[in-house]
A and B are shown apart, each in its own frame.
Chain A
């Protein structure tokens, strides 16, 4: 029983159709890079939940906060966060490099070149990171 969203193309008995293997993305380096980029979303979800726990601990009180700090101090947590950092960095770099494809910004007739858009994004990223880091250290 085929599900109703299954698509049949025109039937022709002599045409040869090659089925796509499940792990098609392991066959080419470009596709491996693509799937790795897509899987970085897991790291983003992971840290969003960590942030949620952070906020909850801060609101619940000093005991809850020190419990969370203890959990974050374990080697497992540091390793997980290191992996997450690498994944999120890959996300950021690929995200900014694709930004000019989506946004065509024109000042009158002149179209802002791709590398300027990427540069502006990278600059904003570095600025924000530096500000947050500096705030943390000086607070």
Chain B
């Protein structure tokens, strides 16, 4: 029962070639293997030059995102059996510059993440007198947005991010909203200055693919839409009640 399955991997070596090209590998077909197992088999046994990111193998670190047959997935979560008999097409995450083979450059996201100020902002800087209290119900308000593992699948799924590189993107906005909805945070106003810029939430046309591909059910599309509503309310308020702008 020595069955094999073919992986067609889109490789890129800038030292040798300015273009990407596919390379095929025959990998043992094991029912309990995921794509990441197959990639590690390639690296260990077939071709040590193949470069890719991975870490936890269990869907919590967000390192192993790649395009599998055109869909952005975590390769540690996709079984070879799903794609039997193959061949399986493996490519680096789209909408990002490719550094080498399956490794992409995500410093654009890191810069955008920092811009939304993803931390608890308090108005007074004094040491807090005791703990900040939060009921389970208040936790549920933002819990799903806190589950983001920065895997970037949503950025690959979002056509707007591919077309408009200045777009903040689903994950950054969802993480920003996570802090807006946290009852311990008092920084919604300054955070929304970044979120409601023209290249913030307003580029989003609700394709909805971000939420569809998210492996942690963060639902960034919902974060963006509810921010559109609250930003619009703030916008009209600033005209009707301008004195509220401190």
Q: List the interface of chain A (C-beta within 8 A of B).
A: 7, 9-10, 12, 14-18, 20, 24-25, 27-28, 30-31, 34, 38, 98, 100-104, 109, 111
Give 20 new A-B contacts, CB below 8 A, not counting A7-B165, A14-B14, A103-B229: A9-B165, A14-B99, A15-B14, A15-B99, A15-B105, A16-B14, A24-B159, A24-B162, A25-B159, A27-B70, A30-B209, A31-B209, A34-B159, A38-B205, A98-B225, A101-B206, A101-B219, A101-B225, A104-B222, A109-B137
Contacts of B226 in A (CB 8 A): 101-104
Q: Which residues of A contact B137 (CB under 8 A)?
A: 109
Given known A16-B12, A30-B209, contact A101–B221 (CB-CB < 8 A): yes
Residue of B nearest to A9 (CB): B165
Instruction: Bits for B13-29, please: 1 = Cβ < 8 Å to A, else 0.
Output: 01000111000000000
Say whether, besides A31-B207, A34-B207, A16 and B20 are in contact (CB < 8 Å).
yes
State whether the Cβ of B97 lies closer than 8 Å to any Cβ in chain A: yes
Q: Which residues of A contact B152 (CB under 8 A)?
A: none
Q: What are 20 residue pairs bridging A and B, where the CB atoms are less than 8 Å apart in the complex?
A: A7-B165, A12-B97, A14-B99, A15-B98, A15-B105, A16-B12, A16-B19, A16-B98, A17-B97, A18-B20, A18-B94, A18-B98, A24-B159, A25-B159, A31-B207, A34-B207, A98-B206, A101-B221, A102-B226, A104-B226
Residue of A nearest to B162 (CB): A20
Contact indicator per residue, chain B 117-140, by CB within 8 Å of chain A (1) or not (0): 000000000000000000001001
Q: Which residues of A contact B222 (CB under 8 A)?
A: 100-102, 104
Give the residues in chain A near B159, CB-CB below 8 Å.
20, 24-25, 31, 34
Q: Which residues of B contact A (CB under 8 A)?
A: 12, 14, 18-20, 70, 94, 97-99, 105, 107-108, 137, 140, 159, 162-166, 205-209, 212, 219, 221-222, 225-226, 228-229
Task: Return the 3 tightest CB-CB contacts between A and B, nearest first.
Answer: A15-B97, A14-B14, A102-B225
Give B104's nearest chain A residue, CB to CB.
Answer: A15
Contacts of B209 in A (CB 8 A): 30-31, 34
Kindly state the separation between the CA atoms of A15 and B105 in the bound complex, as whole angstroms: 8
Contacts between the two chains (Cβ within 8 Å), count: 68
Q: Give every chain B residue within 8 A of A38 (Cβ-Cβ).
A: 205
Nearest residue (CB) in A for B209 is A30
Least CB distance from B138 to A in Å reads 9
What residues of A have a CB within 8 angstroms of the CB of B98 in the complex?
15-18
Q: Known: A10-B107, A15-B97, A109-B137. Contact between A102 and B165, CB under 8 A?
A: no
Q: How far is the CA of A20 from the CA of B95 in the complex (A)?
A: 8
Q: Within the assembled complex, what's the spacing in Å between the Cα atoms of A107 and B97?
A: 46
Minimum CB distance partner of A100 in chain B = B222
Question: What is the minimal beta-carbon distance from A64 to any residue of chain B, in angstroms?
Answer: 39
Inter-chain contacts of A15 with B (CB < 8 A): 14, 97-99, 105
Residues of chain B contacted by A25 (CB below 8 angstroms): 159
Taking CB atoms, residues of chain A closer than 8 Å to B221 are 101
Chain A residues, CB < 8 A from B205:
38
List residues of chain B with CB within 8 A of the CB of A10.
107
Enumerate chain A residues within 8 angstroms of B229, measured Cβ to Cβ. Answer: 102-103
Q: Are A9 and B206 in contact (CB under 8 A)?
A: no
CA distance A111 to B181 in the complex (A): 14
Query: Are A9's CB and B108's CB within 8 A?
Result: yes
CA distance A34 to B208 in the complex (A): 9
Set of chain B residues within 8 Å of A7, measured between Cβ atoms: 164-166
